[in-house]
Every structure is written in structure tokens, then in C-alpha cells.
Structure 1
Amino acid sequence: MSLQSSDPVADMLTRIRNALTASKNEVVMPHSNLKARLADQMVQSGYLHKAEVVAAKPRPFLKVTIYPEGAAPSITAIKRLSKPGRRLYAGADDMPRVKSGRGVVIVSTSRGVMTGQQAKKQRLGGELICQIY
């Protein structure tokens, strides 16, 4: 199995989606700063329970707890928006709403990774990474 992926964010989202389908509450994946920030935003939004970087040899990994033991997952669907072959960008005025505000869009801005609502408040646009509901 190769640890290298052409789209690491899509790989992360697929691992989370597969863990949900298999009723697993934890998933482990290779670490990157973007994936760690993305997981932190999902934790702050309440879609993930916990995300932590575990230092290991030869490289660190990201351990994501999707939901606590005995609880139900809060993620219904998770979808990659911007892809390597087709990047999607949105300005502050054009930030999409997910499921009439019941979902979250995560955006990569010049000030870091944040939710679409936070980006809109700060009048920032950026690359649409994913949507979760």
C-alpha cells in the first residue's frame, strides 16, 4: 500500500466516509498540515469528536475520532468540492450555503482554513475544499 496520494484531502475524506460506513469511530491517516487544519475545523464545527497528531517513526500520522464510543455520528455526508483537475473558488459574497445552513463548507483562505461562515464574516474568499452535513 502506498502512502502517497495525488489528492490527499480526497483521501482523508474517503477514509472518514469509509469508517462511517463500516461503523468505525476512529480512523488513522498520514499527517499533513492541511489535513490537520481541516480536521480541526471539523472538530470546531461539531462534525468530528477529536483529531490529534501522533508523532511516530518514520513519519507522524493523524488520528481522527469521528464520534465518541456509544454515540451516533453527526456526519450524514461529506463531499470534496475543489479537485486537482478543477479548482473551485468563491468570493465572500458568493460563499455557498449547505443544506439551508444546516451544513458547513470549509474554505482555504489567505488567512488559513476556516468555515464558509467565518470567511464571510471576515470578508474573505478562497478555495472551496469540502462540504459536510
Structure 2
Amino acid sequence: MVTDNIADMLTRIRNANMVKHEIVEIPGTKMSKAIAEILKEEGFIENFETYTENSNQYLLLSLKYEGQSRERIINKIERVSKPGLRVYANSKTLPLVLNGLGIAIISTSKGVMTNRKAKSLGIGGEVLCYIW
């Protein structure tokens, strides 16, 4: 049993990305769906779909690569807030990842969103991960 579903999701994406797999399977939770939506909107993955098998829900993420040499779109993906050490930021102290080239995924009272959207709405929250 996994105690940190977000870290498990990010690790599966990181591992599949390192060996240039096309598709990665992730256990489907509300949080993983929300993160997958953001990754799709920001252009880090092609698409994702959900399916159910034996009453367990899963996400299939289609990873994205560019060019003939299949250069990785996701260069680094790292977990920030962990179960043992939660990291929070208010709207004024939201992190800027690689001077705006990357994104931070924030869990707010208005839902899961990027650092740019949270800053424009003037709300803070838990910093889940950085992606660039």
C-alpha cells in the first residue's frame, strides 16, 4: 500500500520519462486526476484517460516528447510538500520555478492549480511539486 499517492504518481512519471515510455499507468485518485489535468493544460503530457478494473480506477498518461530524437518535455519533476513536512505558501510567497519556465502545482481552497493561476487569484496553499 502506498502512503503518498502524489509521490508515487510523480515517481512513476519520472521513471517512465527516463526510459522514454509512451504510456504510464497510475492509480486514479481525485488528486492525481487534478494533477494530470494541469500537466495536460501546461503541455507536459499529451493526454490522459481513466479506466476501471476490478473496482479500482486507473489513469493512463500519454507522455510527450519532441522531435525525431524524442527529447523529453519533462526535464525534472520533484515533490515539495511531503507527509512528514508540509510546505505552504501564501499568495505573496508562491514559488517561481526556473524564473517562470517551470510550474509549481499548488493545492488551494479553490482546487489544485499552477502557481501562476494561484498568484493571479491572490490565494496560497500547499506546494505539491515542481515541474520543468
* Same fold, TM-score > 0.5, yes or no: yes
Kindly tell me the number of residue pairs found equivalent between the two proteins.
130
**Aligned equivalents of 1:23, 1:46: Cα separation in 2:** 16
Candidates 20, 24, 35, aligned match of 1:23: 20
Structure 2, unaligned stretches of length 5 or more? Answer: none
**Aligned equivalents of 2:2, 2:82: Cα separation in 1:** 13
Q: CA, structure 1 residues 111+87, in 2 after alignment: closer, same or farther (shift >3 Å)?
A: same
- Partner of 1:41 in structure 2? 38
- Partner of 2:107 in structure 1? 108
- Partner of 1:128 in structure 2? 127
Q: CA, structure 1 residues 105+61, in 2 after alignment: closer, same or farther (shift >3 Å)?
A: same
**Aligned equivalents of 1:131, 1:122: Cα separation in 2:** 19
**Structure 1 vs Structure 2: percent identity of aligned residues?**
36
User: Matched residue of 1:37: which SS?
Assistant: helix
The structure carrying a bigger strand percent of its residues is: 2
Question: What does 1:1-133 align with in structure 2 at a 5 Å threshold?
Answer: 4-67=1-64, 71-133=70-132
Q: Any conservation in 1 of the 2:65–2:73 contact (CA below 8 Å)?
A: no
Q: Considering only aligned residues, what root-mean-square deviation do their CA atoms show, in Å?
A: 1.4
Structure 1, unaligned stretches of length 5 or more? Answer: none
Report the alpha carbon displacement of residue 56 of structure 1 after superposing the two structures with TM: 2.3
Which AA in structure 2 matches 1:11?
D
Of 79-88 and 17-26, more deviation after overlay is shown by 17-26
Report the alpha carbon displacement of residue 68 of structure 1 after superposing the two structures with TM: 6.1
TM-score, normalising length from structure 1?
0.92
**Aligned equivalents of 2:11, 2:90: Cα separation in 1:** 27
**Aligned equivalents of 2:50, 2:19: Cα separation in 1:** 23
**Aligned equivalents of 1:32, 1:62: Cα separation in 2:** 9
User: Matched residue of 1:60: which SS?
Assistant: strand
User: Matched residue of 1:9: which SS?
Assistant: helix
